[in-house]
Amino acid sequence: MPFGSKDKAYNNSRSMAYLTAEQALADYAVLLTDLKRNLSSESSPVVLFGGSYGGMLAAWMRLKYPHIAVGALASSAPILQFEDIVPDTIFYDLVSNDFKRESLSCFQTIKDSWKELDEQGNGQDGLLKLSKTFHLCQTLNTTGALSDWLSSAYSYLAMVDYPMPSEFLMPLPANPIKEVCRNIDKQPEGSSILERIYAGVNIYYNYTGTVDCFDLDDDPHGMGGWDWQACTEMVMPMSSSEGLSMFLPDEFDYALYADDCVKNFGVRPRPRWISTEFGGHNISSVLEKFGSNIIFFNGLLDPWSGGGVLKNISESVVAIVAPLGAHHIDLRPATKEDPDWLVSLRESELEIISGWLSDHYGARGGALFQRATNKDSAAS
Amino acid sequence: MPFGSKDKAYNNSRSMAYLTAEQALADYAVLLTDLKRNLSSESSPVVLFGGSYGGMLAAWMRLKYPHIAVGALASSAPILQFEDIVPDTIFYDLVSNDFKRESLSCFQTIKDSWKELDEQGNGQDGLLKLSKTFHLCQTLNTTGALSDWLSSAYSYLAMVDYPMPSEFLMPLPANPIKEVCRNIDKQPEGSSILERIYAGVNIYYNYTGTVDCFDLDDDPHGMGGWDWQACTEMVMPMSSSEGLSMFLPDEFDYALYADDCVKNFGVRPRPRWISTEFGGHNISSVLEKFGSNIIFFNGLLDPWSGGGVLKNISESVVAIVAPLGAHHIDLRPATKEDPDWLVSLRESELEIISGWLSDHYGARGGALFQRATNKDSAAS
């Protein structure tokens, strides 16, 4: 942690300014080079592994520092989720699909809940009532804060919709969306929409059952750093569509977004920087012509797969797609409950990576041989 | 010029910190992308041209931003002049060779002059006498300052040893080293070594004959920015060898160099950063495996050619070498005095670059055709 502590590093924009993808890649480059020198293993090949933002870094690092690493496994890396490269509604549409596939009534209850929430919030003592229904620690100032809290839960649930119990963002059962929807659907007849919704999100925010009340301002996933990055270079436009989504229709408003960044961090974003630095609009051609040895893994349940590379680009830039996988499930620890498709796709990844290493040692072996030969002829 | 003016930009290390190769490349990336958008020519291919440091930037930019430019002409780009990639004596050996090939006695006079200079400087009123012999505006404090001034002249002369009159660094005649050596050699018998040396460098520092006295602290080539870069990332170790060089034997002392940087700029260099960022120790393999469409031009009279790429690396990363060329002579304006080899090598460069453009339009034409076909089938 630079600047002595996390508190100090995150204290102001002068130190936060170092929190960029480019700086991260440069740090990795120096770390790997120094580490290999210190370990006297300068000729050892390095393979990059990363999931989510880390997956973007892995792919970008292979593009920018091919001399440092022989290949990259970029898991659930939404490198296309910038500008207008993919439709800006795709993320929330995918989240919505995950709920719809489990239960149409669950999907519909969530879709109907926003209006209900708004009406109840605007009624007599509405915010107080809502705060009680949802067991909030503090009374709401706006319904918006509650909507955001609910939306976040749905999005995170879609990301971690794994077929086995997990504790990535929160302790959760296997197939958590199925559980959430079961809870929403199974409430006794006559239950209100919002009672159902509460029963649903309770699975996400309180699966262990130990939470007395919910604090909406809590930042359990430590997203402060990401918020800064989203306000500088990682501008990912996201809207929700009227038709396909269960979320409130909402169009991404860049001007408003940028003003919020100025207000919160004193910076104005550079929404086009990422595609300038790493390529974007023609990313297939960048990856095809200039990239090699990259695996893009995506699980189609993961809403981030909408901004991912889902098709093979070339012989050595390949896409592995798991229709039933969620956010970087391939990089999670192996468990006994792992379904066959997961075991088998991990094997495919290992096989591809082994190929990179063979290529590397093959090529290097050749060079060593040549050098030895030259030496001999110089001596003779 | 950022920060309002050159004076302000160069005023302290906080603004100087932006003077890096990486920042320059990022600036170019943003400039080119914005320029093309503003001119509604987003699909126009860009070719990078640069000489010397600019040549390094051109080559590095093609490696790091292949999506921004289709190719690069990197003229006299010493991308190997870092760490121990090339022998650290090569620069001054090449300068010395340029003098030796014109006149062995000239070479020897220069080689003998350092001892002479030192002895005279240490004698009674030595520094005053030296200052008079060399028409200096101020009396010398050390002989070292005079040695540096002379060494600089020889190095610059080797860089600009063009076969036609030029005004790149200074107004100079054609084949300036020949002229310098002629002046050194032709002094009347009995002339002292230092009188000969003065007659020689007078060609470089005062070819127009308008200079009354010489100011050693003058910075006619605006090297202040380069000095900063040499103290941060552009650490190019240079020694001069006892055997081959006409310079005083001198071994590069990194510790001393780094301490001077701390003293002068308050920064400690990162001598390994350039090879970490752009590759270096295995640069041929980087260029071969990950580079394409780069021409490395070098003239062998140019001492910077010692750190240049002098051999073809692949079909599209090629070296053009002019045995009689000096520093980025290919990029100088065409003149009527241009020798045939220069005319012809410029033609070769143009032909190669035309090939890049054809490739680009060929590939793009294909993609456009495909898109049109897809549209048709979608409509039908």
Using a CB–CB cutoff of 8 Å, tell me whether A66 touches chain B.
yes
* From B66, B272, B279, residue closest to A289, measured CB to CB: B66
List CB contacts (< 8 A) between A277 and chain B: 26, 29, 65
Which among A277, A288, A317, A359 is the top mutation candidate for probing chain B, defined by the most B β-carbons within 10 Å of its own β-carbon? A277
- Window 340-369 of A, Cβ < 8 Å to B: 367
Backbone angles phi, psi at B114, to 5 degrees: -65, -40
Least confident of A20-24, A203-207, A215-219, B112-116: A215-219
**B214 and B205 Cβ atoms separated by less than 8 Å:** yes
Q: How far apart are CA B25 and CA B2, in angstroms?
A: 15
Q: How far apart are CA A223 and CA A24, in angstroms?
A: 17
Using a CB–CB cutoff of 8 Å, tell me whether B236 touches chain A.
no
For the residues of A184-250, what is the DSSP string, one character each? HHHSPTT--HHHHHHHHHHHHH-TTS--SSB-TT--TT-THHHHHHHTTT------B-TTT-SSPPB
What whole-number percentage of chain A has pLDDT above 70? 95
Catalogue the active-site residues of B: 52, 302, 327
Using a CB–CB cutoff of 8 Å, tell me whether B164 touches chain A.
no
Mean pLDDT, rounded, for B236-261:
95
Token pair, residue A227, equals 């918020």
Give the number of beta-carbon pairs within 8 Å between A and B: 41
For the CA atoms of B84, B89, B90, B92, the dihedral, rounded to the nearest 10 degrees, stands at 140
List CB contacts (< 8 A) between A33 and chain B: 272, 276
* From A33, A67, A290, residue closest to B66, measured CB to CB: A290
Give the residue from B203, B205, B178 showing the smallest Cα distance to B301. B178
Q: How many residues are present in chain A?
A: 380
Give B95's contacts (C-beta < 8 A, 6+ positions apart). B154, B155, B157, B158, B245, B246, B247, B303
Q: State yes or no: pLDDT of A374 exceeds 60.
A: no
Mean pLDDT, rounded, for B319-327:
98
- Give A338 to chain B, closest Cα distance, Å: 38
Using a CB–CB cutoff of 8 Å, tell me whether A64 touches chain B.
yes
Which helix (H) or strand (E) segment holds residue A49: the answer is strand A47-51
Helical segments of chain A, H only:
6-9, 13-16, 21-38, 53-64, 90-102, 104-122, 126-133, 143-159, 176-186, 193-205, 224-230, 254-265, 273-278, 283-290, 340-379
Q: State yes or no: pLDDT of B35 exceeds 60.
A: yes
Mean pLDDT, rounded, for B22-48:
96
* Residue whose tokens read 């590069």: B252
Q: How far is CA A167 from the centre of its chain?
A: 15
Q: Calculate the alpha carbon distances from A253 to A15, A186, B155 in Å.
A: 28, 38, 58
Amino acid (one-letter) located at A54? G
Residue A292 burial by Cβ neighbours in a 10 Å radius (0-12, 13-18, 19+): buried
List CB contacts (< 8 A) between B282 and chain A: 67
Mean pLDDT, rounded, for A44-49:
97
pLDDT digits (tens, 9 = 90+) for A239-248: 999 889 999 9
Contact A67 B286 (CB under 8 A): yes
For the CA atoms of A141, A142, A147, A150, the dihedral, rounded to the nearest 10 degrees, stands at 10
For the residues of A314-336, what is the DSSP string, one character each? SSSEEEEEETT--TTGGGSPP-T
Residue A207 burial by Cβ neighbours in a 10 Å radius (0-12, 13-18, 19+): middle
Backbone angles phi, psi at B48, to 5 degrees: -95, 135
Please give the residue of chain B at the shortest CA–CA distance from A271.
B30
Contact B282 A26 (CB under 8 A): no
First to last CA, chain B: 55
Using a CB–CB cutoff of 8 Å, tell me whether A370 touches chain B.
no
What whole-number percentage of chain A has pLDDT above 90? 86
Token pair, residue A344, equals 């088998």
Q: State yes or no: pLDDT of A226 exceeds 70.
A: yes
Catalogue the active-site residues of A: 52, 302, 327
Which pLDDT score is estimated for B49?
98
Which among B18, B37, B273, B290 is the top mutation candidate for probing chain A, defined by the most A β-carbons within 10 Å of its own β-carbon? B290
Give the residue from B282, B333, B362, B298 showing the smallest Cα distance to B77. B298
Contact A30 B276 (CB under 8 A): yes
Token pair, residue B377, equals 């089938």
* From B26, B66, B292, residue closest to A286, measured CB to CB: B66
What is the SS3 assignment for A308?
coil
The mean pLDDT value of chain A amounts to: 93
| Beta-bridge mates of residue B214 | B136
Using a CB–CB cutoff of 8 Å, tell me whether A290 touches chain B.
yes
pLDDT digits (tens, 9 = 90+) for A313-349: 999 999 999 999 999 999 999 999 999 999 999 999 9
- Give B17 to chain A, closest Cα distance, Å: 13
Using a CB–CB cutoff of 8 Å, tell me whether A154 touches chain B.
no
The mean pLDDT value of chain B amounts to: 93
Mean pLDDT, rounded, for A351-366:
83
Q: What is the pTM of this model?
A: 0.91
* From B272, B277, B286, residue closest to A66, measured CB to CB: B286
Q: How far apart are CA A325 and CA A308, in angstroms?
A: 13
List CB contacts (< 8 A) between A292 and chain B: 289
Q: State yes or no: pLDDT of A180 exceeds 70.
A: yes
**A23 and A3 Cβ atoms separated by less than 8 Å:** no
The CA angle B314-B277-A236, to the nearest 5 degrees, is 105
- Give A249 to chain B, closest Cα distance, Å: 29
For the residues of B155-167, what is the DSSP string, one character each? HHHHHT--SS-B-
Amino acid (one-letter) located at A81? Q
Which pLDDT score is estimated for B96?
98
Q: How far apart are CA B237 and CA B86, in angstroms?
A: 10
The residue ranking higher by pLDDT, B307 or B6, is B307
Mean pLDDT, rounded, for A114-141:
95
Which pLDDT score is estimated for A363?
60
List CB contacts (< 8 A) between B290 and chain A: 66-67, 290
**A21 and A233 Cβ atoms separated by less than 8 Å:** yes
Q: How far apart are CA A275 and CA B355, in angstroms?
A: 27
pLDDT digits (tens, 9 = 90+) for B185-220: 999 999 999 999 999 999 999 999 999 999 998 777
Give A245's contacts (C-beta < 8 A, 6+ positions apart). A89, A92, A93, A95, A96, A111
pLDDT digits (tens, 9 = 90+) for A50-104: 999 999 999 999 999 999 999 999 999 999 999 999 999 999 999 999 999 999 9
- Give B279 to chain A, closest Cα distance, Å: 6
List CB contacts (< 8 A) between B289 and chain A: 66, 292
Q: State yes or no: pLDDT of B297 exceeds 90.
A: yes
Q: How far apart are CA A230 and CA A227, in angstroms?
A: 5
* Residue whose tokens read 């065409």: B334
pLDDT digits (tens, 9 = 90+) for A151-167: 999 999 999 999 999 99
Which pLDDT score is estimated for B363?
60
Q: State yes or no: pLDDT of B372 exceeds 90.
A: no
| Beta-bridge mates of residue B73 | B49, B295
Which pLDDT score is estimated for B169?
82
- Window 260-289 of A, Cβ < 8 Å to B: 272-273, 276-277, 279, 282, 285-286, 289
Give the residue from A8, A28, A63, A3 showing the smallest Cα distance to A294. A63
pLDDT digits (tens, 9 = 90+) for A280-293: 998 888 999 999 99
Which pLDDT score is estimated for B376?
41
Q: How far is CA B103 from the centre of its chain?
A: 25
Token pair, residue B295, equals 């021409």
pLDDT digits (tens, 9 = 90+) for A238-275: 999 988 999 999 999 999 999 999 999 999 999 999 99
